[in-house]
């Protein structure tokens, strides 16, 4: 058993910002979404007719997730690697995602763990490199010095770990206030036992 679980399985590639998308990779400006819907003849901020619901969702996803989709599609799909993207913020303030998750510190996208609805909205077919997005503003605003804990938490998702409720657990939704730990069951899962 190697103590270097990631090193045996994958290599990580670090991106400090994504030039064409910096500072946000998920813009989703509500005004841009409204404008795109209006251009398609769909009244924004109202329930579209049932026959246009899928079209309205597609338009919203295109505006909100277009830069992230473009980034994922531009990456080579083969190989065992993890993309780590460090941004000022993951989602633009005022966007639907920022409204739902105002202090989004990290977001992990993997082909296996992504919900079907997000996968459909993101529109990335087939396999893609597991991608960890880190939002520095939210990480440092909450608790300076927790970038490493947030990265370790998100890499845990890449390796198949889910959120836990126990305080102090690395996979807890809220970042630990001290050095986090993994349970014996989590370590066994990571080691493939």
Task: Kindly report the CATH number assigned to the domain that includes residue 77.
Answer: 3.40.390
Give the pLDDT confidence of 39-68 residue by residue, as tens digits: 999 998 888 888 999 899 889 888 888 888
Q: Are 85 and 107 in contact (CB under 8 A)?
A: no
User: Given the DSSP bridges, would you call strands 11-16 and 106-109 parallel, antiparallel or unpaired?
Assistant: unpaired
Domain with 66, as residue range(s), is: 5-190
Q: What does DSSP assign to residue 21?
A: T
pLDDT band at residue 37 using 50, 70 and 90 as cut-offs: very high
Q: Check residue 78 and give its pLDDT.
A: 66
* pLDDT at 3 exceeding the cut of 50: no
| Structural domain total, the chain | 1
3-state secondary structure of 84: strand
Tens digits of residue pLDDT in 76-115: 776 678 888 888 888 888 777 787 788 888 888 887 767 6
Average pLDDT over residues 13-29: 63
Cβ contact 134:106 at 8 Å: yes
């Amino acid at each position: 058993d190697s103590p270097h679980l990631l090193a045996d399985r994958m290599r990580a590639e670090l991106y400090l910002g994504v030039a064409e998308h910096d500072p946000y990779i998920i813009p989703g400006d509500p005004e841009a979404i409204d404008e795109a819907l209006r251009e398609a003849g769909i009244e924004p901020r109202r329930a579209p007719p049932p026959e246009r619901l899928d079209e309205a969702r597609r338009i919203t996803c295109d505006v909100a997730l277009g830069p992230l989709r473009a980034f994922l599609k531009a990456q080579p799909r083969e190989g065992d690697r993890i993309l780590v993207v460090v941004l000022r913020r993951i989602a633009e303030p005022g966007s639907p995602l920022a409204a739902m998750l105002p202090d989004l510190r990290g977001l992990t996208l993997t082909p296996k763990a992504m919900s079907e609805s997000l996968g459909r909205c993101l529109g990335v077919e087939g396999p893609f490199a597991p991608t960890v997005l880190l939002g520095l503003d939210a990480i440092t605003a909450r608790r300076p010095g927790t970038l490493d804990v947030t990265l370790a938490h998100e890499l845990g998702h890449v390796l198949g770990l889910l959120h836990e409720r126990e305080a102090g657990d690395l996979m807890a939704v809220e970042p630990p206030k001290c050095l986090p730990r993994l349970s014996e069951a989590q370590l066994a899962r990571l080691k493939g036992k």
